[in-house]
Amino acid sequence: MSENSKIEWTDHTFNPWEGCQKVGPGCDHCYAETRNARFAGGTAINWGPGSPRRRTSAANWRKPLAWNAQHEKFLAEHGRRQRVFCSSLADVFDNAVAPEWREDLLELIFSTPNLDWLLLTKRVGNVLGMVPADWLAGAWPAHVWLGATIVNQAEADRDIPKLLEVPAPVRFLSMEPLLGPVALDRLPLGPLAALYSGGRIDALRGGVWGERPDGERLRITHTPFGLDWVIVGGESGPGARPMHPDWARGVRDQCAEAFVPFLFKQWGEWLGARQDGSHSHDPIELNASDVPVRVGKKAAGRLLDGVQHDGFPIGHGGIA
Ligand code: SF4
């Protein structure tokens, strides 16, 4: 699926700089920090408050220009546009990054309109203050997608309303590592409370909804927002935490009901197991009494109830 990246949902990965700071439970086993420490003799020198981030080389910054120039060839071969994940070893909306670096990055993004840029952040609350004002006033580039990492219900409640506040043409979630069950259809209004007088957000269908005393849900108002894509994955690497199959199923089913594209990226290190000790690549028969076993990322695979889910949104290219 990918050209220059091992990540299932992108073709290229671009890191304008490296270095970051942990901001939540999804960061507990940050691969990027471990990698940074390995290359620096054991200490992650670009991590934490006050630590300088490291800008990547000029040669690295030229790569997106080359990918952009390959557009026609890629489109002919794959029938769609190239996707670029930015950033896997940092966060575009990190407060500790020099604003000039981010301006350079946004300029690079603006000058490569043949690429779909997938900006994935754990700091979605910073976005409104860190993008050009005209992006927020109706000129958000069609090839710039915005995603938030969400690992549990608390992060969903806190960050998805902030994501929906941003006028990006494609808004998506990366729910990896998924650490608990998450309901996406009844989120608090958060910053959107300034616009709507009550109710809760259905992030998949769009709209603000209320609930009658008998439990029936009613749409109070339509809204111009909703999620366009959801990715789910379990954790991999040292210290990985298991993902219960029902957590992934829950998000899958919510997306299916709302016709939102769903991609199941991986189980991670763990696979559910039956109590007799056997385990299966297809965890369709699991129930609450089953316990997970560590089989490794490759063996665990990426089938959910025997099905490979590779949903993608229809973005700027019109063909997903
Ligand atoms: S935001 Fe991403 S890169 Fe930064 S510490 Fe967390 S997991 Fe690592």
Assess if residue 43 is contained within a domain: yes
Q: How many CB atoms within 10 Å of residue 277?
A: 8
Residues with CB under 6 A from ligand 1: 20, 22-23, 27, 30, 32-33, 90-91, 122
Assess if residue 6 is contained within a domain: no
Beta strands in 106-180 (DSSP E): 115-121, 144-149, 171-175
The rounded distance, in Å, linking the Cα atoms of 255 and 262 is: 6
User: If you measure from the C-alpha of residue 316 to the centroid of ligand 1, how many angstroms do you get, rounded to a whole number?
Assistant: 28
Domains of the chain: total: 1
For residue 36, the Cα-to-chain-centroid distance in whole angstroms is 22
Answer with the residue of higher pLDDT: 191 or 112: 112
Assess if residue 5 is contained within a domain: no
pLDDT for residue 319 is more than 50: no
Q: What is the mean pLDDT of residues 43-71?
A: 92
User: If you measure from the C-alpha of residue 137 to the centroid of ligand 1, how many angstroms do you get, rounded to a whole number?
Assistant: 29
Assess if residue 201 is contained within a domain: yes
Assess if residue 316 is contained within a domain: no
- Boundaries of domain holding 152: 12-308
Residue 280, pLDDT score = 54
Specify the residue with its C-alpha closest to ligand 1, atom 8: 30
The rounded distance, in Å, linking the Cα atoms of 132 and 34 is: 33
For 39-84, the DSSP string reads: HTTTS-TTBSTTPPPEEPPHHHHHHHHHHHHTHHHHHHHHSS-EEE
Query: What tens digit of pLDDT does each residue of 127-144 get?
Result: 999 999 999 999 999 999
Question: What pTM value is reported for the model?
Answer: 0.91
Residue 79 tokens, joined: 């029938």
Tell me the pLDDT band of 188, cut-offs 50, 70 and 90. very high
Assess if residue 4 is contained within a domain: no
Residue 139, pLDDT score = 95
Q: Which of 114, 149, 116, 109 is nearest to 132 (CA)?
A: 109
